[in-house]
Amino acid sequence: MFPTLLAVALFLLFACSSSNAAKVVQTSACDDQSGTNSTNSAMPDEAHYKLTVSINWATATTGTSPIPGGAHFTTVTGTNHRADYAVWATGTRATAGLETLAETGVTGTLSSEIMAKIGAGSAQQVISLSGTGAVGSSEKTLLIRRSLPLLSLASMLAPSSDWFTGVSCVSLLDNDGNWRSSLERPLHIYDAGTEDDTNLFNLGNADASPKVNIQRLTGSNTAQGGVTVGFVPPKDVVGTLKIERITQ
């Protein structure tokens, strides 16, 4: 009798555990998931890419006047990752790492967040490109794993309260799961939603209360603190990111 009851109990325990496990669903944090679900086995598991960030923060490109003295872009930081992780995304709250980068240009906290995701298998590496002046460029060559094909980067517009530029969840795979040969993305201006923007080109603003979601700045936006952002779309682009597949 007892062995029979034990067997039934073990069966029920296993069945419940299996049922619960079946309910675990991998959620997506990225809008662009091109090729991430492809089973194209003919493509190599890794590919080399060259990233080129070209910056031109000037009245002609953004519509702002005047450009602040000492205008520059801080170290570009990010990673390549899976769709279940986003370094940042519009319509969501900034992480502590993105907040620190957008407000001060310091990348340590964001790098630590990425390192935690690397340990969890959701990201491959911390990517870092040199910052530039108001006009300039920097580049980096990377080895990208096919299982971690989404690229996200961020750099502070300095001086500013909490503005940054970058890209979020750009897939290096096409819809068929093939490595893209090249692509180019505009670098728009974003407000991290973490500081009051009363003094737009100033590092000493108070925290936003309450903090709000990340938003892309356009001529129709109003920044935190009630200051209308003087951009006229599409003049909210401060540069471009060029991504090229290379052979080594």
Per-residue model confidence as pLDDT tens digits over 195-241:
887 767 777 778 888 999 999 887 555 544 444 444 444 467 899 99
Q: Report DSSP letters for 145-179, one per residue.
A: ETTS-EEEEEEEEESSSSEEEEEEEEESB-TTSPB
pLDDT per residue over 44-100, tens digit each? 999 999 999 999 987 666 665 667 788 899 999 999 999 999 999 999 999 999 999
Identify the structural domains of the chain with CATH numbers, from first to last.
Answer: 43-246 (2.60.40.2130)
For 9, phi and psi rounded to 5 degrees? -60, -45
Per the prediction, the chain carries an average pLDDT of 81
| Range among 30-34, 149-153, 207-211 with highest mean pLDDT value | 149-153
Mean pLDDT value across residues 153-162: 93
What's the confidence (pLDDT) of residue 62? 65
- Cα distances (angstroms) measured from residue 53 to each of 104, 135, 136, 165, 186: 20, 11, 8, 11, 10
- 109 beta partners: none
* pLDDT at residue 20 tops 70: no
